[in-house]
Chains A and B, each alone.
Chain A
Amino acid sequence: MTVAAKPDLTEVDPDRYRPRNKTDLTVCWWIIPIFYNFFGLIFVLLARVMPPQRADRNPDQIAAFFHAHTVTIQIGFCLLMVVIGGSGIANGLVAFQMKRMSVSPVFAYAYIAALAVGALPGCLMAAFSFLTATFRPDRDPQILALLYDIGFLSFVGSLGCFTTQYLVLALAILLDKNNIFPRWMAYVTIWQIVTEVLAAPVFVVKAGPFAWNGSISFYQGTVIFVVYEVCIIYLLKKAIERQPLGERIPD
C-alpha cells in the first residue's frame, strides 16, 4: 500500500521540500537528555552548586570552600559555557510542538521569551560569580562570601523567573484541541509553578526549610523539576513519533 501512496505524496506538492524521515527532530530530541546529564554532572559533581552549600556559613568557611574546590569549579563551569546552548535546543523543541497546537503561535514565542528571562540568573550568574571567586582565590574572604551569596541567591532565588514560562505552557496544553500533549502534563507544569514560588523566602532566610539549601525551597522543588523534565522529555519523544512526516507548521 505504501508503494502506491508514496508517489502521491510528492505529486500533491511537487515543488515543496518534503522530509523523508524525522532524523532532524530525533537528533534534536537526543540532545535534551544528553544536555541534562551534563547539566547534572556540572552542577552536582563538579561545581558543587547542587545540592546547595549551607546558607549560614561565615566568610572563612566560604573561603575554605572555594579553596577546596577551585579546580572542579573551573572545569565544571567552563564546560557549562560550551554546553549551555543545549537548553536552547530543548526549549526550541517544546516551542515547536507548541506551534503545532491549536493555540495562537504567540504562546510559543512567549514561552521562548519567558525562558530567556530566567537563563541568566538561573544558571549563568552562578557560573560567573563562582568563576570570579576561583580566579583570584587569595581575595579577602568577605569578597568571596559576596560572590558565594550572589551565586546561590541567583541560582535558587531565580526560580520565580521561570513561572511565566510554565504558566504559558500549562495554558497552551489546556487550550489545545490537537492533543499534542496530554492534559496531565499541564498539571505537572502547574506544580512547577507552586514549588518554584515557594523558593521566594531564600532572600530573607538563612537556615531551615526555606533557606536556599532548605527542604522546601530547594529539595522539594528539585524533585518536582526532575519529574517534570522526565515527563516532558518522554512526551516530546511521543509527540515526535506521532507527528506526520512533512507536516506544515504555521508561522
Chain B
Amino acid sequence: MWVFVLGDLIIFGTYFVIFMVERSWHRDVFLESQRHLNLGLGAVNTLVLLTSSRFVAQGVRAARRNDNAHAVRLVLGGGLCGVLFLAIKSYEWASEIAAGHTLATNTFFTFYFMLTGVHLFHVVLGLVILGVVVADLKNPELRRVSTVEAGATYWHLVDLLWVVIFALFYVLR
C-alpha cells in the first residue's frame, strides 16, 4: 500500500505545483473565482475527514489489541464520516453549478472540479477499502492486522490530500 500512497503523493504533488504555476500567471482570475467557493463547507469537510482519520487510527489500535468488535465500530465510524464528506461535497458542487460555475468557466474552476473530483474518486475507493477491512475484521479466518493497517494508511492519504486542497483552493490569498 505504501507504493500506492507514495506514488499518489508524487502525482498529486505535480498537480498542486501546476496549479500554483497557473495561479501565478492568472492571479486576479484565481482570486476572483476563489471568492465563489464556500469556505465554511470546505472547513467543515476538513474537520469531517480529520475525525474519520481519528476513528480509523483508533480502529487500527483496537485491532492490534485484538478488540475486533470495537475495531469494526471505529472503522465503520470512519466510513460514515467519509459518506458525510461525499454528501457535503455533492451539495457544494450542486450549488456551484447552480450559481453558473462549471468546468468551462475558467482555469480555476477546471482545477477545482477536476482535483476535487479525483479526490472524490479516492474517497469512494477508500470507502470500498474500508468495507474490505470491516469484512476481514469480522471473519476470523481472514483477520490480519496488516490489512487493517494498509487500509488505514490509504484512508489517511485521502485526508492528507484534502488538507492540501483546502489550503490551496479555499484559503490561499
Contacts of B11 in A (CB 8 A): 191, 194-195, 220, 224
Identify the 9 closest CB pairs spanning chains A and B, nearest first. Answer: A187-B4, A204-B104, A184-B3, A210-B110, A208-B107, A201-B110, A209-B18, A215-B18, A201-B103
Contacts of A200 in B (CB 8 A): 114
Whether, in the assembled complex, A83 has its beta carbon less than 8 Å from a beta carbon of chain B, the answer is no
Which residue on B lies nearest to A194, using beta carbons?
A: B118
Q: Which of A170-196 contact B (CB under 8 A)?
A: 184, 187-188, 190-191, 193-195
Contact A216 B15 (CB under 8 A): yes
Whether, in the assembled complex, A233 has its beta carbon less than 8 Å from a beta carbon of chain B, the answer is no
B163 to chain A, nearest CB (A): 19
Whether, in the assembled complex, B67 has its beta carbon less than 8 Å from a beta carbon of chain A, the answer is no
Whether, in the assembled complex, A198 has its beta carbon less than 8 Å from a beta carbon of chain B, the answer is yes
B162 to chain A, nearest CB (A): 15
Contact status of A191 and B22, CB under 8 A, knowing A209-B107, A216-B15, A220-B14: no
Contact status of A201 and B14, CB under 8 A, knowing A187-B7, A209-B22: no
Apart from the given pairs A184-B3, A204-B103, A205-B110, 15 other A-B contacts in the complex at a CB distance below 8 Å: A184-B4, A187-B1, A187-B4, A188-B7, A191-B11, A197-B117, A198-B118, A201-B114, A205-B103, A208-B22, A208-B107, A208-B110, A209-B18, A216-B18, A220-B11
Q: Which of A41-87 contact B (CB under 8 A)?
A: none
Contact A210 B114 (CB under 8 A): yes
Contacts of A193 in B (CB 8 A): 121
Which residue on A lies nearest to B117, using beta carbons?
A: A197
Contact A190 B4 (CB under 8 A): yes
A209 to chain B, nearest CB (A): 5
Which residue on A lies nearest to B10, using beta carbons?
A: A191
B interface residues, tally (CB under 8 Å):
20
* B-binding residues in A (CB < 8 A): 184, 187-188, 190-191, 193-195, 197-198, 200-201, 204-205, 208-210, 215-216, 220, 224
Contacts of A210 in B (CB 8 A): 107, 110-111, 114
Contacts of B103 in A (CB 8 A): 201, 204-205
A35 to chain B, nearest CB (A): 26
Contact B7 A191 (CB under 8 A): yes
A93 to chain B, nearest CB (A): 24
Which residue on B lies nearest to A217, using beta carbons?
A: B114
Contacts of B110 in A (CB 8 A): 201, 205, 208, 210
24 contacts between A and B (CB under 8 A): A184-B3, A184-B4, A187-B1, A187-B4, A187-B7, A190-B4, A191-B7, A194-B11, A198-B114, A201-B103, A201-B104, A201-B110, A204-B103, A204-B104, A205-B103, A205-B104, A205-B107, A208-B22, A209-B18, A210-B107, A210-B114, A216-B15, A220-B11, A220-B15
Contacts of A215 in B (CB 8 A): 18
Contact A197 B18 (CB under 8 A): no
Distance, CA A204 to CA B114, complexed state (A):
13
Contact A194 B4 (CB under 8 A): no
Contacts of B104 in A (CB 8 A): 201, 204-205
Distance, CA A195 to CA B7, complexed state (A):
12
Q: Which of B1-21 contact A (CB under 8 A)?
A: 1, 3-4, 7-8, 11, 14-15, 18
Contacts of B4 in A (CB 8 A): 184, 187, 190
Contacts of A184 in B (CB 8 A): 3-4
Contact B125 A190 (CB under 8 A): yes
